[in-house]
Structure 1
Amino acid sequence: MKRFFGFGRKRKGPPPSGGASPPCNPGAYELREKELGKLHRAAASGDLAQARQALKKYSIDGRDKAKRTPLHLACANGHLEVVMYLVENKCKLNLCDSDDRSPLMKAVQCQQEECVAILLARGADPNLADVNGSTALHLAAIAPNTSLAGQLLEHNARIDARNKMGYTPLALAVSEHHEEMVEFLLKKGADVHARDQSERTPLCLLLLLGT
């Protein structure tokens, strides 16, 4: 696999992710507490008691200026008890923030595996696309996190979904030289011949980035 895909070569230039790559602190929201309502603050900090109190006054699906719901903030920060509380009180699972990312996508991006499991078990859609056209599986591929990718595939995530640049999760994994993720996706049936908007396959991308 290493010789075939050329892992270990020095990559030149940025990866062709169409803006899908996570920041240095993957998925983290920049929060200004004074701009958040009480329920959003409780969700972001993991304060379950405060969340229960705030829910008496504030909408469970209320949005802040960045269109984030309390569930977004709880998932991004891995506050499992708050996530469970919000889900059990029938919050909407598939609302998207200003980047068109759902709570599930934020949980994947921040690698909060237990939150991901809860959301998927309750029916969160794994195939929503963000402003870049990337799905939760794209985000798992560039993390990289094969456990999260496996959870998503078990809940019918599209393995060959394309973002706005035409890249599949496999193409992104190749572009980032994530060998384990590439092997995982191939074993799960990812199409190594899938072409992006420039008619390049994951193998073509590898040759381009590795030379």
Structure 2
Amino acid sequence: MSQQDAVAALSERLLIAAYKGQAENVVQLINKGAKVAVTKHGRTPLHLAANKGHLAVVQILLKAGCDLDVQDDGDQTALHRAAVVGNTEVISALTQEGCALDRQDKDGNTALHEASWHGFSQSVKLLVKAGANVLAKNKAGNTALHLACQNSHSQSTRVLLLGGSRADLKNNVGEQHWLLSCSLCPSP
């Protein structure tokens, strides 16, 4: 086996270890020379560990110098992947390391949009406190507040309003936050 093949094999094993949360294996593989490989969807070990909530692995990868802001094929970062599942510990670790808070994916969504859409109010709170832009709009013109209201996530809505979001903003089809909220309420 050539040196290049050996490194490729180690790198593939690093992806698997990160996905499974095998912190000790991750350390060993990095020490043996594993390089950052990507999945067929462009996800790095950091994306995988962040999405699975493997905080210890995330911390090891950050200490090893993994790029915080690498985007996958959908233009999502590790922060997006943590926000999609509401993992506050990983979100906190990534924001403390200085990741880009307002990086947009292929649909224009930031991590704050993702956390708001899914109703993870503690994640929303962390992102707002870290300085995420509460007025950022995705490609449909929706702010995080639009998405929280659309899905009846009252706690996330409250956090966003207290964090400076504006209820008067319209999306690309002219909908305002309060209209989205009212459209979900049952008629009397």
- The TM tier, using the shorter chain, reads 0.7 to 0.9
The answer as to 2:33 corresponding to 1:57 is yes
Segments of structure 2 that go 5 or more residues without pairing to the other structure are 1-10
Letter in 2 for 1:111: G
Identity across matched positions, percent: 30
Query: Which residue of 2 is the match for residue 78 of structure 1?
Result: 53
The answer as to 2:106 corresponding to 1:140 is no
Query: Which residue of 1 is the match for residue 102 of structure 2?
Result: 127
Q: How much does 1:204 deviate?
A: 2.8
Q: How much does 1:209 deviate?
A: 4.7
Query: Which residue of 2 is the match for residue 108 of structure 1?
Result: 83
Q: How much does 1:78 deviate?
A: 1.2
Letter in 2 for 1:179: S
Letter in 2 for 1:86: L
Q: How much does 1:86 deviate?
A: 0.5
CA contact 2:12–2:37 (8 Å) conserved in 1 = no
Q: How much does 1:49 deviate?
A: 2.0
Q: Aligned partners of 2:181, 2:54: CA distance in 1, in Å?
A: 38
Letter in 2 for 1:195: K
Taking CA–CA contacts closer than 8 Å with sequence separation of 6 or more, which of the two structures ends up with the larger relative contact order? 1
The answer as to 2:142 corresponding to 1:160 is no
Letter in 2 for 1:101: Q
Q: How much does 1:48 deviate?
A: 1.7
Letter in 2 for 1:57: G
Q: What is the aligned counterpart of 1:183 among 158, 168, 176?
A: 158
Q: Aligned partners of 2:87, 2:123: CA distance in 1, in Å?
A: 9
Q: Aligned partners of 2:124, 2:29: CA distance in 1, in Å?
A: 34
Corresponding pairs, count? 175
The answer as to 2:172 corresponding to 1:201 is no
Q: How much does 1:101 deviate?
A: 0.8
Segments of structure 1 that go 5 or more residues without pairing to the other structure are 1-35
* TM-score, with structure 1 as normaliser: 0.78
Query: Which residue of 1 is the match for residue 8 of structure 2?
Result: none
Higher helix share: 2
* TM-score, with structure 2 as normaliser: 0.87
Q: How much does 1:100 deviate?
A: 1.1
Q: How much does 1:184 deviate?
A: 2.0
Deviations 1:88-113 (A, max 9, x none): 11110000111111001111111211
Query: Which residue of 2 is the match for residue 23 of structure 1?
Result: none
